[in-house]
């Protein structure tokens, strides 16, 4: 299923770095996010957009992950040529990632 079914997200910017939260609607789904949203998978998903390292921070107390993506904003909001210079729309892009349904017995 798409990540969008399990979680919501907001993107923020600092310089050329984008940070994207992924927050489970239901706390029971947090483990699935932690298992499948590895920094490697997230970096692969954003190929062509994120040119630097992707770091992941876990916040189990609120059922959320925070991804910090380096060199993701075309040089940063103040000089980017992009229409979405802040990378605000990146929160929607992560929602298209596929998460296998571990509860499915097949």
Partner 1 sequence: MRHIRIGAGAGYSGDRIEPAIELAEKGEIDYLVFECLAERTIAIAQQARMNDPALGFDPLLAERMQAVLAICSEKKIKIITNMGAANPLAAAAMVRQIAQAMHLKLKVAAITGDDVLDTLKAGDYISDQDIAVNSLGDKLLSANAYIGAAPLVEALAQGADVIITGRVADPALFLAPLIHEFNWAMDDWHRLGQGTLVGHLLECAGQVSGGYFADPGYKDVQGLARLGFPIGEVAEDGSVVITKVTGSGGQVTPATCKEQLLYEIHDPASYLTPDVVADFSAATVREIGPDRVLVQGATGRARPDTLKVSIGYIDSYIGEGQISYAGPGALARGKLAQAIVAERLQLSAAVFDEIRYDLLGTDAIHGAALSAQASEPYEVRVRVSARSGSMRDAIRIGNEVETLYTCGPAGGGGATKTAKEVVAVQSCLLPRRQVTTSVHFE
Pick from 3, 37, 68, 72: which binds partner 1 (CB under 8 A)? 68
Least spacing, CB of residue 43 vs partner 1, in Å: 13
CA distance 87 to 79: 13
Among the listed residues 97, 87, 77, the one whose alpha carbon sits nearest the alpha carbon of residue 32: 97
- Inter-residue contact 73 to 18 (CB < 8 Å): yes
Q: If you ran DSSP here, which 8-state letter would residue 80 be given?
A: -
**Of the ranges 35-43, 46-54, 98-106, which one interacts with partner 1 (CB under 8 A)?**
46-54
Q: What is the CA radius of gyration of the chain?
A: 14
Pick from 52, 79, 98, 102: which binds partner 1 (CB under 8 A)? 79
Footprint of partner 1 on this chain (CB under 8 A)?
Answer: 4, 8-10, 12-15, 17, 19, 21, 23, 25, 45, 47-49, 55, 57, 59, 61-64, 66, 68, 76-79, 81-84, 89-90, 93, 96
């Amino acid at each position: 299923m798409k990540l969008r079914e399990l979680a919501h997200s907001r993107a923020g910017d600092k310089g050329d770095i984008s940070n994207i939260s992924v927050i489970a609607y239901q706390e029971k789904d947090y483990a699935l996010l932690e298992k499948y949203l590895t920094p490697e998978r997230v970096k692969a998903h954003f190929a062509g957009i994120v040119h630097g390292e992707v770091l992941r921070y876990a916040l189990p107390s609120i059922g959320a992950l925070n991804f910090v993506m380096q060199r993701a904003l075309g040089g940063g909001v103040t000089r980017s040529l992009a229409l979405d210079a802040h990378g605000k729309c990146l929160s929607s892009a992560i929602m298209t990632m596929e998460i296998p349904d571990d509860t499915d017995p097949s």
